[in-house]
């Protein structure tokens, strides 16, 4: 059976693989540029807003919220997160450090020198009984700290500490430390000592590693892996026979699966275990090499996904967790594939059951220090 692909492509198939990195870079740039254009070119969202969910104003607001948030999750821990949300219309002061956030940019104002871990929501958006409401803007003061998965509605004052999975529906009267749903105040010891000074090299590597390597390089490697599968397959099987072609087809499918498996193992297991393992210090300044390696490892595992979805709910799940660094006992059952946020420090005993959505986190990031601890 003759090949339907053009002869010029078949004769230069390896050359086209070399073009994949450029396509990957352009694709990522487009995915980041499109939300900026959406947020800047569509009509502004004014507050307070109270319209039917089918209103064009509700559609505009929800579109901006969704596109900006999706772009934020592409950026991950990139140093340009705060700058990017500023491009989308948010007012953000200098010195802010952000991971993935959920917000409608033009309804958010943030002061200087605040820290935002992953998954926080800054919005007063409500959808209830057919109405789409944005009662107010969300105002964040200076020098605040946010852990993971908090929801801030009206805002918080300067120098407020918000823990993890905390809901703050109204603006607190004064700065404090908050935790829980609803938010409760708690006492917290002040940070000891002065903030460590970072070298010019550490600052440069933070920007280059988080905003170039983590955004582009790992996806380029993954796309080259896909191209390599195609190249090998077309080289070994340039034409299918008229009879028995299904055997060649099955062999090529297995080849794709094998290359994916080898690529995942070499990058997501071997490489990650080299740069991120339980020999790292348990306390590291934010701009340290260890934290940058941690960022790299998190991003790699989001790009090079495990085969078979991590094999959750099967006998292979524990073996997969051991491969990525966890110490797992006998008869583990988990309905969640990647429930260990810090697998290298996980120590799991026998007969453990993990339900849907459960997560084990073994790090904290307050005072600009990444602190790990065994489970």
Q: Residues 92-103: pLDDT tens digits?
A: 999 999 999 999
Provide mean pLDDT across the span 209-221.
93
Judge whether residue 43 has pLDDT over 90.
yes
Q: Give the global pTM.
A: 0.86
Please state, in angstroms and as integers, the Cα–Cα distance from residue 74 to each residue in 47, 69, 84, 257, 264, following that order.
28, 9, 11, 26, 20
pLDDT band at 4 (very low <50, low <70, confident <90, very high): low
DSSP, residue by residue, 160-229: -EE-SS-EE-S--SS--EEETTTTEE---PPPPSPPPPPPHHHHHHHHHIIIIIIIIIHHHHHHHHHHHH
Selected residue with higher pLDDT from 18 and 142: 142
Residue 80 DSSP code? T
Judge whether residue 141 has pLDDT over 90.
yes
pLDDT band at 190 (very low <50, low <70, confident <90, very high): low
Q: Which range among 6-15, 332-341, 359-368 shows the weakest confidence by mean pLDDT? A: 6-15
Which tens digits make up the pLDDT trace of 238-250?
A: 777 777 777 888 8
Instruction: Name the phi and psi angles at 314, rounded to 5.
Output: -120, 175
363-364/369-372 β-pairing: antiparallel
Which tens digits make up the pLDDT trace of 105-139?
A: 999 999 999 999 999 999 999 999 999 999 999 99
pLDDT, position 194: 55
DSSP, residue by residue, 21-37: HHHHHHHHHHHHHHHHH
Provide mean pLDDT across the span 19-36.
92
pLDDT, position 10: 63
116 forms beta bridges with: 98, 146
pLDDT, position 160: 93
Selected residue with higher pLDDT from 104 and 360: 104
120: helix, strand or coil = strand
Judge whether residue 213 has pLDDT over 90.
yes
Angle at 226 between CA 225 and CA 230, to 5 degrees: 115
- Work out the mean pLDDT of the chain and round it to a whole number: 87
Which tens digits make up the pLDDT trace of 244-301?
A: 777 888 888 888 889 888 999 999 999 999 998 888 888 888 888 889 999 999 999 9
pLDDT, position 310: 67
Q: How far apart are CA 127 and CA 133, in angstroms?
A: 6
Count CB atoms within 10 A of the CB of residue 278: 17
| Number of residues in the chain | 375
Judge whether residue 191 has pLDDT over 70.
no
The 3-state secondary structure of 231-281 reads HHHHHHCCCCCCCCHHHHHHHHHHHHHHHHHHHHHHHHHHHHHHHCCCCCC
């Amino acid at each position: 059976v003759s090949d339907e692909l053009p002869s010029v492509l078949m004769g230069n198939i390896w050359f086209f693989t070399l073009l994949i990195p450029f396509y990957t870079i352009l694709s990522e740039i487009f995915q980041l540029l499109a939300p900026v254009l959406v947020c800047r070119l569509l009509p502004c969202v004014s507050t307070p807003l109270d319209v039917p969910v089918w209103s064009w104003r509700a559609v505009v607001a929800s579109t901006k919220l969704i596109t900006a948030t999706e772009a934020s999750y592409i950026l991950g821990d990139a140093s340009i997160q705060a700058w990017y949300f500023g491009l989308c219309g948010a007012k953000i002061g200098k010195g802010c450090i952000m991971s993935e956030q959920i917000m409608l940019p033009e309804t958010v104002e943030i002061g200087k020198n605040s820290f935002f871990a992953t998954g926080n929501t800054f919005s007063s958006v409500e959808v209830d009984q057919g109405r789409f409401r944005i009662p107010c803007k969300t105002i964040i003061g200076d020098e605040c700290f946010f852990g993971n998965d908090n929801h801030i509605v009206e805002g918080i004052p300067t120098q407020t500490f918000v823990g993890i999975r905390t809901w703050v529906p109204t603006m607190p009267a004064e700065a404090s430390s908050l935790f829980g749903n609803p938010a409760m105040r708690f006492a917290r010891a002040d940070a000891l000592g002065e903030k460590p000074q970072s070298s010019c090299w550490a600052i440069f590597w933070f920007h280059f590693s988080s905003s170039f390597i983590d955004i582009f390089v790992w996806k380029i490697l993954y796309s080259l892996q896909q191209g390599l599968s195609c190249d090998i397959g077309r080289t070994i099987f340039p034409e299918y026979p008229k009879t028995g072609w299904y055997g060649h087809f099955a062999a090529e499918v297995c080849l794709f699966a094998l290359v994916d498996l080898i690529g995942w193992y070499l990058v997501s297991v071997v490489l990650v275990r080299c740069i991120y393992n339980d020999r790292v210090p348990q306390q590291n300044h934010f701009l340290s090499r260890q934290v940058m390696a941690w960022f790299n490892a998190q991003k790699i595992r989001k790009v090079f996904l495990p085969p078979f979805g991590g094999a959750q709910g099967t006998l292979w799940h524990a073996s997969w967790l051991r491969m990525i660094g966890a110490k797992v006992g006998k008869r583990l059952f988990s309905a969640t594939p990647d429930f260990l946020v810090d697998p290298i420090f996980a120590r799991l005993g026998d007969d453990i059951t993990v339900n849907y959505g459960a997560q084990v986190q073994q790090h904290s990031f307050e005072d600009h220090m990444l602190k790990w601890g065994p489970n």
